[in-house]
Chain A
Amino acid sequence: MTDPIVRIEKLKIALPEGADRPYAVDRCSFDLFPGKILCVVGESGSGKSMSANALMGLLPEGVHVSDGRIRLGERDLVGLTDEEMRDLRGRRVAMIFQEPLSALNPLMRIEDQIAEVFEAHGLLKPAERKKRAVELLTEVGLPDPARAARAYPHQLSGGQRQRVVIAMALALEPEVLVADEPTTALDVTTQAQILELIRTLQVERNMAVMFITHDFGVVAEIADHVTVMQLGKIVEEGPAATVLSNPQHPYTRKLIDAIPKLRAGRAAAPARETLMEVKGVSKTYRSGGGLFRPVREVHAVKDINLTIGRGETIGIVGESGSGKSSFGRCLVRLQDTDQGQILLGDQDITKAQGKELQELRAKVQMIFQDPYSSLNPRIRVGRTIADGPIAHGTPVDQAMAEADALLERVGLPGAGKRYPHEFSGGQRQRIGIARALALKPQVIVADEAVSALDVSIQAQVLELLDELKRELDLSLVFITHDLRVAAQICDRVMVMQKGECVEIGPGSQVFDNPSHPYTRSLIEAIPGKDWDAEAA
């Protein structure tokens, strides 16, 4: 075996006083070998990003390496001056980030941003820099690289931007590439392409890659070696195949078990009476349309028909921009529709006004995506839940008592007197669920309700939703980009692409025997699919 290019030995990273634990990373050691990919896996707060930042010398203010070594070849990176570190960065160690949009300067052309990398290290002549930029863009597989070089970041798609960021990282032919969740913000099909690209480039250039992710599917796809971190400590490490097929540590097992399997979770429930009926709903966004500008139209939702039975769970899946969220917002009338009807009984929610709308909305509630912005930071959570019933005329005392009971039901007894910031993401999502239940709805629309959560928390929240659904005989419209999640909990699944419904049917049919090519490409792109099939 060759010598490692990077050796991290007993690394300790101290957090500032008052943090939830004294060390972000506690005596962690790992090696990066040329031509190999090391995946560092863990949930949020496990210290995985901190160790990458330490390697890059990019620790946030107040956080510092208190012990241990980071060796790059013969040099110890701990205690290097900023200037020495700057010289190494890019030239020997490069990094790609999670959010390509914020990693690029919106006011600079792509070629200038790549040229800047050479400029910062005083390499090449200006003309050569631009030529090299185009070469790099060709290498990362951008279609029409010469044009992409002249483009601004906003003119490229998410996947193309990530390719640009990778091109910048590769510019100086580094020996080590650090990738911090580079595919998390991308759609599943784009993610598959980017993973493929990183894999190919890494083999071609014999680079060592440190790949940080929370997704075991991604690990199964690209890792040679895996390190699992929990609360700043390494709990398990080993070759990818071994860790995935035979996890030793209970935490690793818990993480792997928590991943929903891509199989229809259950047989479709027997059909019951129709509760909600969507007839030919369309929504078009119009922008621009000034005196000298043409109107820009985006068909967010196009002629969707759907019936929702009592007690049924319907999954709506699709990539970003497929119109699935717009459709969900139409269902609760957070968005007006252009055409069509959404009938609840014989009342049309798209036309209702005033009192009638208020009554209808109580029957169709929503659980939101972002647990951090969906609760008012200045209002105690008990009151937040009670606000709905109070607005519908329930006396305050009674509403507060009901809110407490609901909080207990979602597993947060006695939480009513506290403020949102005292809760974790998963707990906040439980509060969001309690709020949605407060008005005793018949249908709940959950818009990406678990996408912001760690996989183990996600499993708990899904379980809670499922229990409540059964207990209260609710219908659930579950909007998600994650086919695994949809497969696990949905009776029927609707696949959306560019505002249209391309396929709808029972979960088993859509996942095991997809009829539309788009559905097939979505399923094909799920990372770790083969490993998943093996485990099944």
Chain B
Amino acid sequence: MSNFWTTFKGNKGAVVGLVILAIVLLASIFAPMLYTTSPWDMVNMPFMAPGVDSSVPLGTDTLGRDIAAGLAHGAYISLLVGFVSTIVSLCIGIPLGAAAGYFGGWVDDVLMRITEFFQVIPSFAFAIVLVAIFEPSITSMIVAIAVVSWPPVARLLRGEVMSLKHREFIEAAELSGQSGFTIITRQILPNTISPVIVLASMMVATAILTESALSFMGLGDPNVMSWGYIIGAGRTVLQQAWWISFFPGVAILLTVLAFNLIGEGLNDALNPRLAKRRG
């Protein structure tokens, strides 16, 4: 474990990513305390440029709502959707991929054809359709994102399991009378955890982007303030009030960047041989 931290810390980008993530996380935790009123409340004049009034440092939007308050409250939604949808898609992809890889044969064929069915549909279009079918809400967004993003997990797991399956320790476990389920959960899955963690950190970033895009299109939960929604709302007045779209855009950029940097760092730390080769 100490070794893990040394390698991780050696990657400067990953540390920067971790710092950004910590800031976003703090913002989402303390948002209700910093901005006690709802971010939907009008607090000042509309179209107030940033830095004009110290009570609204990032300016106000078309209806006089505080952008800074929106950002702080939106952080919570972005992280929530990012993490939960990733967990849900791992829950779909890991068992499917592991079963396909371990049992092979027709099980593999059936599961992989299903996976391909999901892979061939452009994922964003598919997500839009799903959200549109359900009532737009946080839950439907999470479900939609999870449903479109599990195939890579299943693919990854299948490959890992197939290569592990022929290792001697798996054969030894088979000989010792352990059931297929025990072998998958106890012997194989712990050995696939590193690439899954790396993939998951990247998936969080993609999920946040998808959530923003959905909200931008007005398919988000109408009751919660999210970064994508603020950009969407400011889009028509981009020339008069650039700051409305600019600040949440930067927030999305930085958060997604943070997760990608962390993913990179995790990859280096968990696959030390690859990292060295990259030099």
Chain A residues touching B, majority SS: loop
User: Contact flags (1/0) for A240-269 with B, using CB distance below 8 Å?
Assistant: 000000000000000000000000000000
Asked if B169 and A375 make an inter-chain contact with CB atoms under 8 angstroms apart, the answer reads yes
A361 lies within 8 A of chain B by Cβ: yes
Asked if A391 and B176 make an inter-chain contact with CB atoms under 8 angstroms apart, the answer reads yes
Cβ–Cβ < 8 Å partners of B179 in chain A: 391
Q: How large is the interface on A (under 10, 10 to 19, 20 to 34, 35 or more residues)?
A: 20 to 34
Q: Which of B168, B171, B190, B191 is packed against the most chain A CB atoms within 10 Å?
A: B168
A365, A376, A379: the one contacting B175 at CB < 8 Å is A365
Asked if A362 and B177 make an inter-chain contact with CB atoms under 8 angstroms apart, the answer reads yes
- A518 to B178, alpha carbons, bound, how many Å? 41
- A334 to B166, alpha carbons, bound, how many Å? 11
- A299 to B191, alpha carbons, bound, how many Å? 35
A368-B168, A369-B168, A379-B186 known; A334 and B175 CB under 8 Å? yes
Asked if B167 and A391 make an inter-chain contact with CB atoms under 8 angstroms apart, the answer reads no
B167, B168, B169, B177: the one contacting A361 at CB < 8 Å is B177
B11 lies within 8 A of chain A by Cβ: no
A379-B186, A379-B190, A391-B182 known; A374 and B177 CB under 8 Å? no
A387 lies within 8 A of chain B by Cβ: yes
B137 lies within 8 A of chain A by Cβ: no
Cβ–Cβ < 8 Å partners of A365 in chain B: 175-176
- A378 to B182, alpha carbons, bound, how many Å? 15
A376-B191, A379-B186 known; A370 and B168 CB under 8 Å? yes
Cβ–Cβ < 8 Å partners of B187 in chain A: 376, 379
B41 lies within 8 A of chain A by Cβ: no
A358, A374, A377, A392: the one contacting B172 at CB < 8 Å is A374
B173, B177, B190: the one contacting A392 at CB < 8 Å is B177
Complex: chain A residue closest to B276, CB-CB: A61
User: Contact flags (1/0) for B167-201 with A, using CB distance below 8 Å?
Assistant: 11101111111110010001100110000000000
Cβ–Cβ < 8 Å partners of B191 in chain A: 376-378
A373 lies within 8 A of chain B by Cβ: yes
Total inter-chain residue pairs, C-beta < 8 Å: 60
Q: How many whole Å from A382's CB to the nearest CB in chain B?
A: 14
Q: How many whole Å from B166's CB to the nearest CB in chain A?
A: 9
Q: How many whole Å from B182's CB to the nearest CB in chain A?
A: 7
User: Contact flags (1/0) for A344-369 with B, using CB distance below 8 Å?
Assistant: 00000000000000100110011011
Asked if B172 and A366 make an inter-chain contact with CB atoms under 8 angstroms apart, the answer reads yes
- Docked complex: B35-72 residues within 8 A CB-CB of A: none
- A391 to B180, alpha carbons, bound, how many Å? 11
Asked if B174 and A387 make an inter-chain contact with CB atoms under 8 angstroms apart, the answer reads no
A93 lies within 8 A of chain B by Cβ: no
A228 lies within 8 A of chain B by Cβ: no
Asked if A376 and B177 make an inter-chain contact with CB atoms under 8 angstroms apart, the answer reads no
Q: How many whole Å from B79's CB to the nearest CB in chain A?
A: 30
Cβ–Cβ < 8 Å partners of A332 in chain B: 175
User: Contact flags (1/0) for A430-444 with B, using CB distance below 8 Å?
Assistant: 001001001100000
Complex: chain B residue closest to A62, CB-CB: B276
- A387 to B175, alpha carbons, bound, how many Å? 11
User: Contact flags (1/0) for A200-227 with B, using CB distance below 8 Å?
Assistant: 0000000000000000000000000000
Asked if B168 and A438 make an inter-chain contact with CB atoms under 8 angstroms apart, the answer reads no
- A530 to B16, alpha carbons, bound, how many Å? 68
- A326 to B105, alpha carbons, bound, how many Å? 22
Asked if B176 and A438 make an inter-chain contact with CB atoms under 8 angstroms apart, the answer reads yes
A388 lies within 8 A of chain B by Cβ: yes
Q: How many whole Å from B5's CB to the nearest CB in chain A?
A: 16
- A432 to B174, alpha carbons, bound, how many Å? 14
- A377 to B174, alpha carbons, bound, how many Å? 17
- A334 to B169, alpha carbons, bound, how many Å? 13
Complex: chain B residue closest to A375, CB-CB: B169
- A373 to B182, alpha carbons, bound, how many Å? 19
Asked if A387 and B169 make an inter-chain contact with CB atoms under 8 angstroms apart, the answer reads no
Cβ–Cβ < 8 Å partners of A379 in chain B: 186-187, 190
Q: How many whole Å from B135's CB to the nearest CB in chain A?
A: 43
Asked if B176 and A439 make an inter-chain contact with CB atoms under 8 angstroms apart, the answer reads yes
A387-B186, A391-B182 known; A376 and B169 CB under 8 Å? yes
Complex: chain B residue closest to A389, CB-CB: B176
A377-B191, A378-B190 known; A368 and B171 CB under 8 Å? yes
User: Contact flags (1/0) for A409-434 with B, using CB distance below 8 Å?
Assistant: 00000000000000000000000100
- A392 to B175, alpha carbons, bound, how many Å? 11
- A289 to B176, alpha carbons, bound, how many Å? 34
Asked if B168 and A387 make an inter-chain contact with CB atoms under 8 angstroms apart, the answer reads no
- A432 to B172, alpha carbons, bound, how many Å? 9
Cβ–Cβ < 8 Å partners of A369 in chain B: 168
Asked if B176 and A334 make an inter-chain contact with CB atoms under 8 angstroms apart, the answer reads no
- A127 to B179, alpha carbons, bound, how many Å? 62
Complex: chain A residue closest to B167, CB-CB: A373
Complex: chain B residue closest to A332, CB-CB: B175
A379-B186, A379-B187 known; A334 and B177 CB under 8 Å? no
Cβ–Cβ < 8 Å partners of A438 in chain B: 176
Cβ–Cβ < 8 Å partners of A387 in chain B: 173, 176, 178, 186
Asked if A358 and B177 make an inter-chain contact with CB atoms under 8 angstroms apart, the answer reads yes
- A362 to B173, alpha carbons, bound, how many Å? 11
- A373 to B168, alpha carbons, bound, how many Å? 6
Q: Which of B167, B172, B182, B186 is packed against the most chain A CB atoms within 10 Å?
A: B172
- A358 to B182, alpha carbons, bound, how many Å? 14
Asked if A374 and B169 make an inter-chain contact with CB atoms under 8 angstroms apart, the answer reads yes
Complex: chain A residue closest to B182, CB-CB: A391
Asked if B172 and A391 make an inter-chain contact with CB atoms under 8 angstroms apart, the answer reads no
Asked if B178 and A388 make an inter-chain contact with CB atoms under 8 angstroms apart, the answer reads yes
Asked if B177 and A366 make an inter-chain contact with CB atoms under 8 angstroms apart, the answer reads no
Cβ–Cβ < 8 Å partners of B172 in chain A: 366, 368, 374, 432, 435
Asked if A388 and B176 make an inter-chain contact with CB atoms under 8 angstroms apart, the answer reads yes
Asked if B168 and A388 make an inter-chain contact with CB atoms under 8 angstroms apart, the answer reads no
Cβ–Cβ < 8 Å partners of A439 in chain B: 176-177
12 contacts between A and B (CB under 8 A): A361-B175, A361-B176, A362-B177, A365-B176, A373-B169, A376-B187, A376-B191, A379-B187, A384-B169, A387-B178, A392-B177, A438-B176
Question: What are the 7 closest A-B residue pairs judged by CB atoms, nearest first?
Answer: A388-B176, A374-B168, A368-B168, A378-B190, A358-B177, A391-B178, A391-B177
Chain A interface residues (CB < 8 Å from chain B): 332, 334, 358, 361-362, 365-366, 368-370, 373-379, 384, 387-388, 391-392, 432, 435, 438-439
Given A358-B177, A369-B168, A391-B177, list of 14 further CB < 8 A pairs? A332-B175, A334-B171, A361-B176, A362-B176, A374-B168, A374-B172, A376-B173, A379-B186, A379-B190, A384-B169, A392-B177, A432-B172, A438-B176, A439-B177
